[in-house]
Structures are given as structure tokens and as C-alpha cells.
């Protein structure tokens, strides 16, 4: 026997790996990169059927990965949505249901669980979690430069040999919009104008500028992926693409229609997951458990979702029977709850005496101002007039298979009585099971006119009343 030392050293290494689970997991654990769009509608990507927008990099992720066709958020508002996704809970169970409400002290989110598995975690750009959420990340850069390539390089340098989790939270395509965001710009003549907006030159230009910010985000996604490839990290990185809520237009963001809560959701992991398209109904509550499961972490009982690992591996998977969402204060107060199946959507409105509370950034937009102009002139079409309805219906029911823009409320059609009763009961049971607060418990003061979008100083108004 010539020299037993190499064999002996190999045995030592194998034994040390077996007795050091963190080191062993670090050598095998996937990197996880979550791209988060800020106010991007699920329809507005080439891979989701929009042939008028330039999104080649997101489209490539979908082509080589798993594209979810029916993924839904728990709320159509920025900060409640983000805390919900990262904690795996509903916003009201976290008590982050109102816009700008920080994550409570002591509430763990994904990066804290991953740290126990040896991960180095980071967040780029938009925080919107509050200080107790932010401090759970090892690295944070708040720069609002949309490229973020230097910040990404610094994060990857800092992560060194550890597996990483990166929450890459873009500012695009949140308003306000300015010309020149992307070259060549998207063509206003080709944009897709939904029926609830006015098809005018002003609206088309507004939509084209929104498209431009999505295209800029897409370009920056391509640059980030190129950096992963340059460092030989791409093959072992699970890339997830998602939006925090729907597009920032009237009757989309901030609503419980699909235009507000349906999200693009793409999983991409080269040679590691089963590529394709899934029509299964899924809530984003499953995202946190899936990430933890893939990283070898224990899924806490506080999370409402389940791991999608089997789906990613191409195994037989049964989606959700129901997905639930909520809308609360966002410049204007609302208490709206919804339940959706593959066939139907039921929405319950509490504050029916008020017109729908459009957020200030949406109501001040050129496209909303066009609706106000046509309203004044008495020229609104039926779909365009719905947002101004007062009183609002207590219950809305839509056949989402045949009425994808949710324009025909079937709730008061007697032939759908059984559907309304069934879904309403399911919704009430969910509210009770998740300890949701009833609408009479509190109302917060609006700080925006619900129709015109005029923003005012709430210090000059009576305070919000509350029984909490």
C-alpha cells in the first residue's frame, strides 16, 4: 500500500459532512432568487399572452421553467402582499392588512428560517416590510437605481460560499411614469386596453409608459441572470418571478378582481424542475413553505400554505379548491373579502354606501382622468362606469371562466342562488378560522377623495374611530 493518507483524509471529510448538517446542506442547497415586480398585471408579459409588450427575459424563464396560469395573491396592495408572501400568512393574521403597516416585532419570515440552514439572505431595492422584517436579512441595499447590477455583485461577493436567498424587489412598474424608461419604447397603438378603461390616445400612452417600465425591469432581470451565469451560479439557482399586485390602473390594483390579485408566477431551475405550464389554482401562501422545503428547513405551523416541491418535480399535484383574498385600508378604507374557485369568484363588500376607494396614485393617473372626463360628459360605457357605482352591491359573483374581466354580477340572478350561498358560507368559515376582524370593529379615515383621487391632510379631519 503506497500512501494511505489521501484515503484517510477523504474518510475524515465524509464523516465530518455527515456530522455537520449545515455544511452538508450548504454544499447541496439551492440558491433562491425571487424577482418581485411592483404593480405588474399578470396579463402584461409575452408568456402570458400579451404580444404587444417586450419581455424576452421573463418569457425565457417561462419557456424553460414552470409557468403557473392561476396563481393568486392574498391582497392587492404592496406592503400587505409582501409581508403575506414572506411570512406564509394572510395579512390580517399578521396584522399588516393596512398599507404601510410594518411586520410585527418577533414575527419570523423566510430569511430567518433559512439562516438556520446556512443561507446568506439579501434584499435589493424596495423594503416595505418595516424594520423588524428588514433586520432579518443579512444584506440590504435601498438604492432605487433600477439596474441594481453593482448591488447584486456586492451581495454575491458577500454571500461567498454560502447558498443565498435574494429578494430582488424592483420599483418598476410602480407609478409615476416618465418618458424614456425603455428604448425602443412600447407602441401605444399596440397596447391592450381592457374594457374598463377608456380606449383613448391618453389612456394608450399611459399604458405604453407602464409597459416601458415592465420592459426595463425585464432588461434588468436579463442582466442579473447573466451575472449568475458569469459566476457559475445559474445552474443551481431556483429563480422565481412574481408581482406583488395588479397593474396600477383603475379597477385593477387595490381590487379583488383578478386584475388586482392574479399574479404571474414562474419557477425556473435549470435541469432541476419539470418545465411546463400548470393550470392548477394556487395561492402565493404556498411560496414560503416551498422555499423552506427546498432548502431543507422545517415548515412552521403558522404558515397556511403547503410546499409545491412535488409540483416542481413533475409529480401529481392537486391545487387549491379555494383561494382567499382581502382588501383593507389603502388611502381609502375598505373591508372587502373574496373567495375564488376555478369557475367562480365571490366578493363581499362591507362599505357599500361609498364609491370604490381608488388609491391616490391610480386616481391621479391620466387614464383615470379620462374616465372622469367621460363621466362628466355622460359617455362612459357600462364596464367603465362600474367603478363609480354607488351604492355598491354587498355581494358580487362572477363566472370567471366566461367573464374574465368580471363585468356581469350574477349574485342577484336566482339561478345562481346556491352558488352564492355555498361560496358565502366558505368565505365566512375562512374568516372565522383565521380570526379575521369584522367590518364594524373599526374604520380608518380616508386621506384621498374616492372619485377624483385628490389627496388631503388627514390631520384636519376627525380621527378614525376604532373599537380595538
Q: What is the domain extent for residue 377?
A: 325-466
Share of the chain above pLDDT 70, in %: 92
Q: What is the pLDDT of residues 394-409, one digit of tens each?
A: 999 999 999 999 999 9
Q: Has residue 315 been placed in a domain?
A: yes
90, 38: one domain: yes
Q: Has residue 256 been placed in a domain?
A: yes
338, 390: one domain: yes
206, 164: one domain: yes
Confidence band, pLDDT 50/70/90 cuts, at residue 459: low
293, 437: one domain: no
Residue-by-residue DSSP string for 43-88: T-SGGGT-TTS--HHHHHHHHHSEEEEEEE-S-SSHHHHHHHHHHT
Say if strands 276-283 and 336-340 run parallel, antiparallel, or are unpaired. Answer: unpaired
303, 399: one domain: no
Statement: residue 23 has pLDDT above 90: no
Q: Which segment, 21-25, 236-240, 271-275, 452-456, is predicted with the most confidence on average?
A: 236-240
Q: Has residue 6 been placed in a domain?
A: no
Distances (CA, A) of 64 to 88, 255, 270: 27, 32, 7
Q: What is the pLDDT of residues 243-272, one digit of tens each?
A: 999 999 999 999 999 999 999 999 999 989
Nearest CA-CA partner of 183 in 153, 209, 149: 209
From 272, 289, 320, give the residue that closes a domain. Answer: 320
Q: Has residue 11 been placed in a domain?
A: no
368, 405: one domain: yes
From 265, 298, 320, give the residue that closes a domain. Answer: 320
Q: Has residue 14 been placed in a domain?
A: no
392, 313: one domain: no
pLDDT at 442: 86
145, 264: one domain: yes
Q: Has residue 8 been placed in a domain?
A: no
pLDDT at 146: 76
Q: Has residue 3 been placed in a domain?
A: no
For residue 139, give the CATH number of its domain.
3.40.720.10
From 298, 320, 342, give the residue that closes a domain. Answer: 320
Q: What is the pLDDT of residues 345-357, one digit of tens each?
A: 999 999 999 888 8
pLDDT at 195: 98
232, 373: one domain: no
Pairwise CA distance, residues 110 & 419, whole Å: 37
Cβ neighbours for 31, distance < 8 A, ≥ 6 positions apart: 163, 164, 165, 166, 233, 236, 237, 238
Q: What is the pLDDT of residues 54-107, one digit of tens each?
A: 999 999 999 999 999 999 999 999 999 999 999 999 999 999 999 999 999 999
255, 356: one domain: no
Domain count within the chain: 2
300, 336: one domain: no
84, 209: one domain: yes
Statement: residue 284 has pLDDT above 50: yes
Share of the chain above pLDDT 90, in %: 83
Q: Has residue 124 been placed in a domain?
A: yes
For residue 339, give the CATH number of its domain.
3.30.1120.10
Statement: residue 44 has pLDDT above 60: yes
What is residue 418's DSSP assignment? H
Cis peptide before 173 (omega within 30 of 0): yes
Q: Where are the beta strands (DSSP E) in 108-155?
A: 120-125, 139-141
Amino acid at each position: 500500500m503506497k500512501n494511505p493518507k489521501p484515503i484517510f483524509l477523504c474518510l475524515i471529510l465524509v464523516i465530518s459532512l455527515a456530522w455537520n448538517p449545515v455544511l452538508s446542506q450548504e454544499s447541496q442547497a439551492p440558491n433562491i432568487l425571487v424577482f418581485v415586480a411592483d404593480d405588474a398585471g399578470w396579463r402584461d408579459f409575452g408568456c402570458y399572452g400579451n404580444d404587444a409588450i417586450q419581455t424576452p427575459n421573463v418569457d425565457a424563464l417561462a419557456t424553460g421553467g414552470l409557468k403557473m396560469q392561476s396563481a393568486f395573491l392574498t391582497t392587492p396592495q404592496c406592503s400587505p402582499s409582501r409581508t403575506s408572501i414572506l411570512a406564509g400568512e394572510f395579512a390580517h393574521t399578521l396584522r399588516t392588512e393596512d398599507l404601510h403597516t410594518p411586520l410585527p416585532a418577533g414575527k419570523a419570515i423566510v430569511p430567518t428560517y433559512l439562516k438556520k440552514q446556512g443561507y446568506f439572505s439579501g434584499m435589493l431595492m424596495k423594503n416595505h416590510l418595516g424594520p423588524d422584517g428588514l433586520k432579518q436579512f443579512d444584506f440590504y441595499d435601498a438604492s432605487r437605481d433600477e439596474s441594481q447590477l453593482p448591488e447584486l455583485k456586492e451581495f454575491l461577493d458577500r454571500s461567498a460560499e454560502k447558498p443565498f436567498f435574494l429578494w430582488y424587489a424592483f420599483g418598476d412598474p410602480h407609478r409615476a411614469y416618465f418618458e424614456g424608461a425603455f428604448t425602443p419604447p412600447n407602441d401605444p397603438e399596440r397596447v391592450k386596453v381592457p374594457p374598463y378603461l377608456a380606449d383613448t390616445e391618453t389612456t394608450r400612452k399611459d399604458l405604453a409608459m407602464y409597459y416601458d417600465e415592465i420592459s426595463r425591469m425585464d432588461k434588468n432581470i436579463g442582466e442579473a441572470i447573466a451575472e449568475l451565469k458569469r459566476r457559475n451560479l445559474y445552474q443551481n439557482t431556483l429563480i422565481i418571478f412574481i408581482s406583488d399586485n395588479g397593474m396600477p390602473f383603475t379597477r385593477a390594483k387595490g381590487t379583488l378582481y383578478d386584475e388586482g390579485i392574479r399574479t404571474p408566477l414562474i419557477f425556473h431551475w435549470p435541469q432541476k424542475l419539470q418545465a411546463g405550464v400548470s393550470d392548477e389554482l394556487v395561492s402565493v401562501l404556498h411560496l414560503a413553505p416551498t422555499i423552506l422545503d427546498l432548502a431543507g428547513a422545517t415548515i412552521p405551523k403558522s404558515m397556511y400554505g403547503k410546499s409545491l416541491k412535488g409540483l416542481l418535480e413533475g409529480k401529481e399535484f392537486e391545487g387549491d379548491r379555494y383561494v382567499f383574498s382581502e382588501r383593507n385600508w389603502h388611502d381609502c378604507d375598505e373591508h372587502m373579502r373574496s373567495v375564488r374557485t376555478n369557475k367562480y369568484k365571490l366578493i363581499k363588500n362591507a362599505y357599500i354606501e361609498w364609491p370604490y376607494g381608488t388609491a391616490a396614485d391610480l386616481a391621479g393617473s391620466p387614464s383615470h382622468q379620462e374616465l372622469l372626463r367621460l363621466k362628466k360628459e355622460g359617455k362612459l360605457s357600462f364596464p367603465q362606469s362600474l367603478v363609480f357605482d354607488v351604492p355598491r352591491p354587498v355581494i358580487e359573483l362572477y363566472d370567471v371562466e366566461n367573464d374574465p374581466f368580471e363585468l356581469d354580477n350574477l349574485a342577484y340572478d336566482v339561478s345562481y342562488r346556491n352558488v352564492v350561498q355555498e361560496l358565502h358560507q366558505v368565505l365566512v368559515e375562512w374568516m372565522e378560522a383565521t380570526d379575521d376582524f369584522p367590518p364594524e370593529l373599526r374604520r380608518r379615515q380616508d386621506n384621498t377623495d374616492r372619485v377624483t383621487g385628490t389627496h388631503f391632510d388627514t390631520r384636519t379631519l376627525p380621527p378614525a374611530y376604532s373599537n380595538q
